[in-house]
Structure 1
Amino acid sequence: MTLFGIDISNNNGPDIDLTEVAREGFSFVFAKVSEGDYFIDATWPAYRDAAHANGLLVAGYHYLRGDCDAAAQAELFVEHLGDAAAMIDFEANSGGITTFWAFVSEVNKRGKRIDLSYIPRWYWQQIGCPDVSQVPGLIQSSYVGGSGFATDLYPGDASPYWNGFGGKAVDLLQFTDAAQVAGHTVDANAFRGSVDDLRRLLGLTPPTTQGVLMALTDAQQADLYQKVQDIWGQLLGPDGHGWPQLGLNAAGQNLTLVDAVAKTGGEILAALPKAAS
């Protein structure tokens, strides 16, 4: 199964009808929230709410700038994101991979988790082909020619555009910037999997009608799920693969918070003077 979605911002105008987008068969919307430490996209709140109202999965993205403070950018982004998955737009003028991870860390400190990373292959090459194996939810972009309906333009699930890089498989493919959707020309993305698969990638609350969660309101369920995701992210790191800043284990993998505490505790005990027998 392949799902299709659109990527929009103020550059596309404020009048894209997401009811029509859903009617045309799209499953998700990625929309711009902020850029640097100075810009808030005025179209975001309405697009976010319309996506929810029409059953579209939604992520809000921040255009990361290498010339702005990571903490200030994270503060701006988290303040305006609201109830949506979180995505980094990491491309021209976004700085190096250390800037990427600095921003991730600052977002995590504010109780949110980055779920998607838009990193075009060309930009990855421009910044020296760093290891991106631990980035959450890689979106790569390679565009086909022409314009038209997204399903007609899509190069296929076996296209080399899907080839990974930097040690990371591609999770979503942005394959055109000229899809005709709801009377507009927009970027279109593809996801190879089911709606539930995409929900899991985005860290969104899966629908449930059974078990103890039935005793909670929808808002309480969403709040509980987000808190569990936050705890999970703090313990296991981005995408569940440890924290780069905590060091590596014997297998060359990033340490989780628990691993790092255990390692530090062992080092402290080993350094203590031995008791006389």
Structure 2
Amino acid sequence: MTIFGIDISNNNGPDVDLAEVAREGFQFVFAKVTEGDGFIDYTWPAYRDAAHANGLLVAGYHYLRDDCDVDAQAELYLAHLGDAAIMVDFEADSGGIETFWAFVNAVRARGRAVSLSYIPRWYWQRIGSPDLSRVPGLIQSSYVSGSGSASALYPGDDSRFWDGFGGKTIDLLQFTDAAVVAGHRVDANAFTGTLDQLRALLGTAPTTQGVLMALTDEQQTDLYSKVLEIWAQLRGPDGQGWPQLGRNAQGESLTLVDAVAHLLEVPVAGQADPGKVAS
């Protein structure tokens, strides 16, 4: 299947109605957060929150520039991103591929990870066609002509626009800058997969860690201590069984389960016949 999303920024104004975007069938939004080491997109916080409120996957992007310090750019970007996936906009005035990787590493050094990389084919060619095989989540842009609904403009899953480059397959395709969505002309993107697959690419798939992170430090400590207590009660100290419950034919202390099985005279796999268990 193929799902669609939009790409917006202050250039589209602050009034793109993301509730209407969702009603029209779009499932994700990429929006600008920062550029260089000083520009902050004033539309970002409201678009991020509206995307979450309307069930849209959201990534916020930083427009990378090579005329200012990479660490300062990472600091600015992460200070304003909030709870959204990380995307790098790497194109005109972004420098060579070494600048891209310097920014990726600066983000990693701050405990986050880049999920998406907007690198249009024309810019890749301009900077010498470097290897892109390790680039996370490649977004390529090639535009069809005309304006209208995104589904009508989409060139199809078998379009040459999807051809990979730099040793990397394309993960998302930005195929127009003139899709009419919620009454606005915007960039539209396609993803040939399910919403869950896109969620995994963005690094926003639900995990057990995410559930635990919803607990306070005190609650996590309390939960951990209780799990250890339950484990010890079932398996005995250090998992070696309880001497007071008896021993098996190999001289090993019984666990609680072993002892109950012995009382019920039910053989336990890997254990001698209960009648031969010494008290």
TM range, normalised to the smaller chain? 0.7 to 0.9
Encode CA deviations 1:191-222: one digit per residue, 9 max, x unaligned.
Answer: 0000000000000033x7xxx779757577xx
Q: How many angstroms apart in 2 are the aligned matches of 1:175 and 1:215?
A: 37
Number of aligned pairs?
Answer: 217
Q: How many angstroms apart in 2 are the aligned matches of 1:87 and 1:113?
A: 9
Q: How many angstroms apart in 2 are the aligned matches of 1:205 and 1:155?
A: 29
What is the match of residue 24 of structure 2?
24
What is the match of residue 174 of structure 2?
174
Shift in Å, 1:107: 0.6
AA paired with 2:63? Y
AA paired with 1:110? R
Q: Does 1:121 align with 2:130?
A: no
Q: How many angstroms apart in 2 are the aligned matches of 1:105 and 1:213?
A: 24
Does the CA-based 8 Å contact 2:175-2:190 persist in structure 1? yes
What is the match of residue 255 of structure 1?
none
Query: 2:131 is paired with a residue of what secondary structure?
Result: coil
What is the match of residue 138 of structure 2?
138
1:214/1:30 CA distance change after superposition, 3 Å: closer
What is the match of residue 203 of structure 2?
203
AA paired with 1:132? L
- 1:39-58 superposed matches below 5 A: 39-58=39-58
What is the match of residue 66 of structure 1?
66
AA paired with 1:167? G
Q: How many angstroms apart in 2 are the aligned matches of 1:57 and 1:78?
A: 18
AA paired with 1:114? V
AA paired with 2:27? S
Larger-Rg structure: 2
Encode CA deviations 1:3-29: one digit per residue, 9 max, x unaligned.
Answer: 100000000000000000000000000
What is the match of residue 105 of structure 1?
105
What is the match of residue 36 of structure 1?
36
- 1:231-250 superposed matches below 5 A: none
What is the match of residue 11 of structure 2?
11
What is the match of residue 192 of structure 2?
192
Q: Flag as ranges the 4+ runs of structure 1 deviating above 3 A.
A: 212-220
1:185/1:213 CA distance change after superposition, 3 Å: same
AA paired with 2:72? A
What residue ranges of structure 1 are gaps of 5+ in the alignment? 225-277
Query: 1:173 is paired with a residue of what secondary structure?
Result: strand
Q: Does 1:79 align with 2:92?
A: no
Q: How many angstroms apart in 1 are the aligned matches of 2:108 and 2:209?
A: 26
Q: How many angstroms apart in 1 are the aligned matches of 2:170 and 2:210?
A: 36
Does the CA-based 8 Å contact 2:117-2:139 persist in structure 1? yes
- 1:263-274 superposed matches below 5 A: none
Shift in Å, 1:86: 0.2
1:167/1:10 CA distance change after superposition, 3 Å: same
Q: How many angstroms apart in 2 are the aligned matches of 1:215 and 1:151?
A: 36
AA paired with 1:164? G
AA paired with 1:138? L
TM-score normalized by structure 1?
Answer: 0.76
Shift in Å, 1:111: 1.1
- 1:248-267 superposed matches below 5 A: none
Encode CA deviations 1:91-143: one digit per residue, 9 max, x unaligned.
Answer: 00000000000000001111110000000000000000000110000000000
AA paired with 2:123? Y
What is the match of residue 93 of structure 1?
93
Q: How many angstroms apart in 1 are the aligned matches of 2:210 and 2:95?
A: 45
Query: 1:87 is paired with a residue of what secondary structure?
Result: strand
What is the match of residue 156 of structure 2?
156
1:102/1:146 CA distance change after superposition, 3 Å: same
Query: 2:73 is paired with a residue of what secondary structure?
Result: helix
Q: How many angstroms apart in 1 are the aligned matches of 2:104 and 2:158?
A: 31
